[in-house]
């Protein structure tokens, strides 16, 4: 029954009620009580009105946006009711815009380690959590946790298929872990003493490591990059560090490049342009990196049209002309997403992009962070899909991900070796493509069931620069 019908019924019923009630009061010779208090308005109404106004301007699937539910509904439910599901897999709303902004910059409360999960065996329900990496300056690093360690219990509870997701959430607070470590001298995993990990507010640097290998006459630059962010609080520290890394590669005269994006779930599009500008050969600020398509409303404005074409940036540290065979090797996985895929797609018109690892995630649409400044009671942050991104050839057809040239799963190696170890499985395969040498490795079968990386807010995100929405309202 609609609200209008309910209101109409109340109008019909009210006079009868008043007549009967007044008759009773006359009989008792008492005045009828009067309620002068106005009805209480739901605080959700102005928030949901703001959500609707935002989506009416910027949502990519504007014509397919759905009819909303009642404006006094929970804002998260209201936002969800508008979305063009299942086509739109990525638009999201968050209860705190400041926490969202920090997370996109790599600032989170955590213990400082990421894990990949696999079934112990098809014969049981046990789950093993392989430490993928620990973060510099984190409690996990201080406690001695290392890549390749295998966690079997969190807070004294064994991980299983039925509880591992709940146990992963417990990592956001202080917690204990029981784990095993591989002993090369015995060839076995051995139990380690339980450790307790506190959580702290940690700013993670996405430039995880870089090094140069010299193998025969090949000089190979190797960089591990975990997410796209220019810096923290408006600075460009991480982009500047990436420039410095490539400057060192150039100074050392590398002729091959391996970019490790296996854990890179995305981030800022501006950092994607910055990185591509360090790699693509013979590009200048007049060469097109990507084209962005917005909805039918936004595309009418000259301010938005000026943002549709993104050009490379002139970089003295650019390596493109010194890479042998005009080729870059990129290590990928199913956790290589969004802005990482924009790098792959954007470089393809300019050079040979050779992929080693797993099929990438498949995301070709971009978001922007929207929060409300005028309502102090509205803490929500929105990440709606606002664009689709194409390379300079007009190609954006990778919703099913990019298939690698050499397919491999890092969990197939008996132990996760450190990043930069030439025998580490995916790195060794990339080096093999460059040098022609091969190494024999005994592989194991493991069933990947997830990781902590997918739980990151930044995972699967392409974050665009802020759109000039205030300027549009002046038209």
| pLDDT, tens digit (0-9, with 9 covering 90-100), for 347-367 | 999 999 999 999 999 999 999
Confidence check: pLDDT of 264 > 90 = yes
Give the H or E element holding residue 385. strand 385-391
Average pLDDT of 256-279? 97
* Cα 458 → chain centroid: 2
Query: Are 271 and 238 in contact, with CB atoms under 8 Å apart?
Result: yes
| 104-139: pLDDT as tens digits | 999 999 999 999 999 998 889 999 999 999 999 999
Tens digit of each residue's pLDDT (9 = 90 or more) over 231-254: 998 899 999 999 999 999 999 999
Separation between Cα atoms, residue 375 and residue 273, nearest integer Å: 34
- Asked, as a colleague might, if the bond just before 257 is cis with ω within 30 of 0, I would say no
Secondary structure tally for the chain: helices H, strands E: 12, 25
- pLDDT for 31: 53
Res. 16 pLDDT band, cuts 50 70 90: very low
Q: Which CATH number fits domain 108-201: 2.30.42.10, 3.80.30.20, 1.10.10.60, 3.40.630.20?
A: 2.30.42.10
Give pTM, 2 decimals: 0.89
2 vs 164, residue with greater confidence: 164
* pLDDT surpasses 60 at 267: yes
pLDDT of residue 457: 87
Band (475; pLDDT cuts 50, 70, 90): low
Task: State how far the Cα of 336 lies from the Cα of 129, in Å rounded to an integer.
Answer: 19
Cβ within 8 Å of residue 251, ≥6 positions away: none
CATH code 2.30.42.10 region(s) in the chain = 108-201
**C-alpha closest to that of 238 among 208, 264, 281, 260:** 208
In this predicted structure, the answer to whether residue 10 has a pLDDT above a threshold of 50 is no
Q: Which helix (H) or strand (E) holds 109?
A: strand 107-110
Q: Are strands 127-134 and 150-154 parallel, antiparallel or unpaired?
A: antiparallel
pLDDT at residue 473, as a whole number: 67
pLDDT, tens only, 175-221:
999 999 999 999 999 999 999 999 999 999 999 999 999 999 999 99
The phi-psi region of residue 436 (left if phi > 0; otherwise alpha if psi is between -120 and 50; otherwise beta) is left
10-19 mean pLDDT = 33
| Radius of gyration, alpha carbons of the chain | 27
Give 48-88 pLDDT, tens digit per residue. 999 999 999 999 999 999 999 999 999 999 999 999 999 99
pLDDT at 155: 98
* Fold classification of 205-363+388-443 (topology level): 2-enoyl-CoA Hydratase; Chain A, domain 1 (3.90.226)
pLDDT at 474 (0 to 100): 65
For CATH 3.90.226.10, list the domain ranges present in the chain.
Answer: 205-363+388-443
Q: What percent of the chain has a predicted confidence (pLDDT) above 70?
A: 91
For 426-473, write each residue's pLDDT tens digit. Answer: 999 999 999 998 777 789 999 999 999 998 888 988 898 777 777 776
Quote the mean pLDDT of the chain.
Answer: 91
Digit-coded pLDDT (tens) for 404-418 = 999 999 999 999 999
């Amino acid at each position: 029954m609609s609200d209008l019908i309910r209101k109409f019924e109340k109008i019909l019923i009210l006079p009868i009620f008043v007549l009967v009630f007044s008759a009773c009061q006359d009989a008792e010779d008492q005045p009828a009580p009067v309620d002068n208090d106005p009805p209480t308005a739901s605080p959700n109404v102005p928030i949901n009105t703001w959500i609707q106004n935002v989506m009416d301007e910027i949502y990519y699937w504007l014509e397919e946006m759905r009819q909303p539910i009642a404006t006094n509904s929970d804002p998260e439910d209201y936002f969800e009711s508008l979305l063009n599901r299942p086509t739109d897999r990525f638009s999201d709303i968050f209860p705190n815009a400041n926490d969202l902004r920090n997370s996109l910059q790599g600032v989170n409360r955590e213990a400082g380690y990421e894990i990949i999960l696999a079934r112990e065996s098809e014969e049981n329900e046990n789950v093993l959590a392989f430490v993928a990496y620990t973060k510099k300056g984190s409690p996990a690093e201080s406690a001695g946790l290392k890549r390749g360690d295998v966690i079997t219990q969190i807070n004294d509870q064994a991980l299983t298929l039925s509880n591992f997701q709940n146990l992963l959430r417990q990592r956001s607070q202080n917690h204990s872990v029981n784990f095993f470590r591989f002993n090369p001298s015995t060839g076995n995993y051995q139990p380690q003493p339980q450790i307790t990990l506190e959580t702290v507010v940690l700013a993670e640097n996405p430039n995880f490591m870089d090094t140069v290998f010299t193998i025969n006459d090949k000089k190979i630059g190797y960089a591990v990059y975990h997410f796209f962010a220019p810096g923290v609080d408006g600075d460009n520290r991480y982009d500047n560090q990436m420039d410095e890394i490539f400057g060192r590669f150039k100074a050392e005269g590398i002729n091959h490049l391996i970019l490790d994006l296996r854990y890179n779930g995305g981030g800022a599009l501006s950092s994607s342009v910055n990185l591509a500008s360090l790699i693509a050969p013979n590009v200048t600020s007049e060469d097109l990196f990507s084209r962005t398509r917005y909805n039918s409303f936004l595309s009418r404005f000259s301010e938005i049209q000026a943002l549709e074409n993104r050009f490379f940036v002139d970089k003295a540290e650019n390596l493109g002309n010194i890479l042998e065979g005009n080729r870059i090797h990129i290590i990928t996985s199913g956790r290589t997403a969004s802005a990482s895929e924009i790098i792959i797609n954007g470089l393809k018109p300019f050079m040979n992009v050779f992929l080693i690892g797993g099929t990438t995630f498949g995301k070709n649409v971009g978001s922007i962070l929207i929060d409300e400044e005028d309502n102090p009671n509205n803490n929500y942050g929105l990440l709606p899909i606002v664009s689709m991104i194409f390379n300079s050839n007009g190609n954006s057809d990778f919703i099913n991900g990019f298939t690698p040239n050499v397919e491999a799963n890092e969990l197939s190696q008996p132990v996760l070796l450190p990043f930069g170890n030439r025998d580490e499985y995916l790195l060794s395969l990339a080096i093999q493509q460059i040098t022609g040498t091969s190494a024999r490795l005994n592989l194991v079968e493991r069933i990947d069931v997830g990781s902590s990386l997918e739980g990151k807010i930044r995972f699967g995100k392409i974050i665009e620069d802020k759109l000039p929405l205030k300027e549009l309202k002046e038209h």
